[in-house]
Structure 1
């Protein structure tokens, strides 16, 4: 709503105290000048609010910046009667009736804050706060507020492993985590140069020479330098948009008295899943796997039934790298694997949590929404589904590269590039050049690990797609334009193509051609579904809906 060229929010008349109410009004931009689309232009800062209050003609004394800063801080300080008047003029957009209503609202909220402060001093809530480990825990009672308000007053710190993990993805910069992963992978690549195992041609006792250098392994280079950072960047952008834009806007479309879990509560409810992923990826897939396939063989000098790679080359070529150096380097590599694997699979949990949160909002909307609101819901659903598709398709490409490297180690080729080139030629020849069969009776952990990754990734995509599709059908689909239409056929087709490619890698001669085609198709359609026009139109659609 616009009053005097400013974005006006009517009094909520709920049970919020002053801090909660002020935080909400600042977050939505109440009292700020409105732009051409009707949305607030900019955002409130202590300096801007202090300057706005000081410019009122009747405010000769102005207001101190420190006083305004206290309002923005998480403390128990209230507000004076005079400042309530100035703040009511800001939020009331200098409309006499609106200013009067906001004076009543702010005064009541200030009294509720004073009552809470007295209760806290008596110790009535101290035990509950300390037992939850935070001043305001996930379980804080916000039943009297709308879901958007509940998120604003909920604690910024979510306790436990789930909260700490979600905080990593909630960073304001989408480049922070990807840069860390890329830098760590680059550092390992430089270390492999120093240790002289970046490129090593090894000739087994009964077999052909084979390139087992660290930089020749796509599951360690391409995955950690390109695919995993891209995955994290997409996930962080999706979560940021959901928490800061889509979720607050959806919450305004439902009944303010409706009770629903806050985002913090939804993350906390999945804490067992986070611990399960931690146990499997860190303790088993990385820790136990490193000890069984690298540490023990290096210490005993017996490679066992594992295919020789850069991590076990010290057993056969101590002139290149010593056993202690190989133990330390492989330990660093698997430490990065533990970090990357844990965040990758918890990222899938975040994708499901966002989908589950969206479905919960839309179900409570039902069919009572207007046409404009329904269009906004469809656009948000499309954006979430595109994010899920991007992340899961990148995940499938990662699993394909894992199996590709494992299959190469069991082949009879010198290097992976030549192996794939000869395999591609085999598709056009009646007589096979070589590699009629893959494997020398050895085993590679990448085969088994990648298979379980495939099952989990495909399951997450199917579940999220089915839930989003069902809930949009429940609310009533419009399909008014391409910006709101979800390309189900394209997404499902790419996932089927990537899954088929994974199954055929190292099994059917000529799989290289299918691999190249699937990677090109996946890259094209991973980029294509989302566009800048769609993102901006989502904002315009929301403005029309409210």
Structure 2
């Protein structure tokens, strides 16, 4: 679906062209949930059992359940924030009021197309559709934040176990601790990458809507070419309000907090030097690409490099060189 803007630009605003709805909910979030599930299952059923002194599965499962239960208030707080603020209040402010009364100074997208093209979709239909979409969105992001809380719980639990048995000098045990710690950090790295990719998709879509690009692909390609030919047309933006910028920033911050916490708790030893540097460098590059979206002509080049490295890191978080066996070799030498 397209609409003609007042300045003569015809923009593509169809739902399937909205990266913050298609890529986020069809690709990135399902992968995030899969990686969180894989890591939590590994820690609960295998990693934790290896490291606990008693090695009893029932007692280990009960201890893990108590750790999760201790975060129950966090789960409820996140639920209320997502439903009330990310869902209800944002829907009322961004979609419902502009659809019913107009105004708001938001860029036209699929949710507000009824204002400018009522022959395509009526206002009542848009109200119902956007309401369902925001309800689905807030529930998905509630699960996203629950996943981050679980990742934090895994890191904290692993750190406490490592501290409680730090007096055990056995090489085999230290090797197992190193392997489990690396496995956990690689899982958190994957989830961090996906969290930042979600934020990138949200901000790119928001920036595109305020730009002069005809569709999001043409806008990004035009930005790449502008870096070489000196044209700034694709960076000419109208001063619409962009609440998605703030939402995506909160996602980046919350995601990176878990990664930084894990790096501090688990990655300060020299055995993690190289893999942690590589993972941290990719996350830093990806966050830099996010922050610089639409900041200068050619931003999409930096963004593309970061996204490609991040996607590679999803398949090989060790980036081809570091292997768990090296942990044992380093420990034996020391």
* TM-score, structure 2 normalization: 0.90
1:237 correspondence with 2:25:
no
How far the C-alpha of 1:348 sits from its partner, in A, is: 0.6
What do residues 159-192 of structure 1 show as CA deviations (whole Å, max 9, x unaligned)? xxxxxxxxxxxxxxxxxxxxxxxxxxxxxxxxxx
In structure 2, the gaps of 5 or more residues are 329-334
Structure 1 residue ranges (4+ consecutive) displaced by more than 3 angstroms after TM superposition: 252-256, 258-261, 534-537
1:490 correspondence with 2:278:
yes
Instruction: Kindly report which structure 2 residues correspond to 1:389-428, keeping only aligned pairs within 5 A, or say none.
Output: 389-428=189-228
Matches of 2:199 and 2:131 in 1, distance apart?
A: 22
Aligned to 2:331: none
* TM-score, structure 1 normalization: 0.56
Aligned to 2:156: 356
1:449 correspondence with 2:247:
yes
Instruction: Kindly report which structure 2 residues correspond to 1:167-178, keeping only aligned pairs within 5 A, or say none.
Output: none
Matches of 2:13 and 2:56 in 1, distance apart?
A: 61
Matches of 2:132 and 2:114 in 1, distance apart?
A: 16
SS at match of 1:202: strand
Matches of 1:260 and 1:510 in 2, distance apart?
A: 51
Contact 1:309–1:409 (CA under 8 A) maintained in structure 2: yes
1:296 correspondence with 2:97:
yes
- Cα 1:526–1:485 change in 2 (3 A) is farther
Which is greater in Rg?
1
What do residues 198-220 of structure 1 show as CA deviations (whole Å, max 9, x unaligned)? xx111123452111111111110
Contact 1:207–1:412 (CA under 8 A) maintained in structure 2: no
Structure 1 residue aligned with 2:27, among 223, 226, 230?
226
- Cα 1:204–1:255 change in 2 (3 A) is closer
Matches of 2:62 and 2:160 in 1, distance apart?
A: 10
Contact 2:155–2:184 (CA under 8 A) maintained in structure 1: yes
Aligned to 2:64: 263
Contact 1:203–1:210 (CA under 8 A) maintained in structure 2: yes
Aligned to 1:212: 13
Aligned to 1:273: 74
Matches of 1:212 and 1:415 in 2, distance apart?
A: 8
Matches of 1:263 and 1:409 in 2, distance apart?
A: 45
Q: Which has the higher helix share?
A: 2
How far the C-alpha of 1:332 sits from its partner, in A, is: 1.7
- Cα 1:313–1:382 change in 2 (3 A) is same
How far the C-alpha of 1:485 sits from its partner, in A, is: 7.6
Higher relative contact order (CA 8 A, sep 6+): 2
Aligned residues, how many? 324
SS at match of 1:298: helix
1:320 correspondence with 2:120:
yes
Aligned to 2:332: none
CA RMSD in angstroms comes to 2.7
How far the C-alpha of 1:335 sits from its partner, in A, is: 1.6
Matches of 1:250 and 1:365 in 2, distance apart?
A: 8
Matches of 1:502 and 1:487 in 2, distance apart?
A: 23
SS at match of 1:210: strand
In structure 1, the gaps of 5 or more residues are 1-199, 541-546
Contact 1:217–1:405 (CA under 8 A) maintained in structure 2: yes
How far the C-alpha of 1:461 sits from its partner, in A, is: 0.9
Aligned to 1:518: 306
Matches of 1:230 and 1:489 in 2, distance apart?
A: 24
